[in-house]
Amino acid sequence: MIRIFTYSLLFILLTASAVNDGRKANEAYNNGNYEEAEQLYISAIEQEPDNARLYFNLGNAQAKQGKVEEAIQSFMEFRSLTEDPREKSMAEYNIGTLLAENAKWKPAASHFKNALKFNPSDMDAKHNYELALAQQKKEENENGEDQNQENQPPPEPSEYALAMKKQAEKLVAQRKYGEAYNLMQRALEADDTVRAFNDFIERIKNVSDINSN
């Protein structure tokens, strides 16, 4: 079984307007009141929407409640807002941990690998990456690889697939079609159920191609 590490909180620098909600959220989280913490982090984000670390802690509170899709979106938002490679690595690591907890080994391995790209010295990420890969290969050997996926109807999208699509939609709203397409391609490599959004992927690819010409 993969060794799962505790989700870590980041210290938050807040303005006076959001400081009370941020402190209360941290207290609620530390006391195990994750639903309350989630609502307080959301309230603080409404006051400081560009505070990356609020999204990270929000993702932790959501992960503790088993809200996979929402937590992934929060970690991805944190990743997009921070410029620090180590913090980007933490976002990827927590996504990998969340997916591993739900036995989603292929996408988990993909995100642990991403964590190592940002922070090659992270031994926890390396350890979990290797174990997730082993679980992925074991699962593939047990189930067998389907060679005719393209001829099959689209699968039901996983929570991971839904989270990636919503993140891509945010990029599309910002007219970042190339980034949205690349995000969905990486998600597809990690999770076959992303095929459910092939039409969406094709549309943003076409727009991206037009914009690059």
Angle between helices 177-190 and 105-118 (to 10 degrees): 130
Residues counted in the chain:
213
What is residue 1's predicted lDDT score, i.e. its pLDDT?
Answer: 37
What is residue 5's predicted lDDT score, i.e. its pLDDT?
Answer: 46
Assign 171 to helix, strand or coil. Answer: helix
pTM: 0.84
To the nearest 10°, report the CA torsion of 90, 95, 101, 107: -130
Assign 73 to helix, strand or coil. Answer: helix
What is residue 194's predicted lDDT score, i.e. its pLDDT?
Answer: 96
Q: Name the DSSP class of 175.
A: T
One-letter-per-residue 3-state SS of 94-131: HHHHHHHHCCCHHHHHHHHHHHHHHCCCCHHHHHHHHH
What is residue 140's predicted lDDT score, i.e. its pLDDT?
Answer: 85
Average pLDDT by consecutive 10-residue portion of the chain (213 residues)?
Answer: 49 58 87 95 92 91 94 95 94 93 93 95 91 91 63 83 95 94 94 94 89 64
All structural domains of the chain: 10-82 (1.25.40.10), 85-139 (1.25.40), 159-212 (no CATH)
What is residue 153's predicted lDDT score, i.e. its pLDDT?
Answer: 73
Instruction: Give the DSSP per-residue string, 2-53.
Output: PPPPPPPP------HHHHHHHHHHHHHHHTT-HHHHHHHHHHHHHH-TT-HH
Report whether 8 contacts 95 (CB < 8 A): no
* C-alpha distance from residue 183 to each of 47, 157, 171, 179, 188 (Å): 28, 16, 9, 6, 9
State the Cα–Cα distance between residues 77 and 62, nearest whole angstrom: 14
What is residue 4's predicted lDDT score, i.e. its pLDDT?
Answer: 45
What is residue 202's predicted lDDT score, i.e. its pLDDT?
Answer: 93
Burial of 7 (0-12, 13-18, 19+ CB in 10 A): buried
What is residue 7's predicted lDDT score, i.e. its pLDDT?
Answer: 55
State the Cα–Cα distance between residues 59 and 75, nearest whole angstrom: 6
State the Cα–Cα distance between residues 76 and 55, nearest whole angstrom: 9
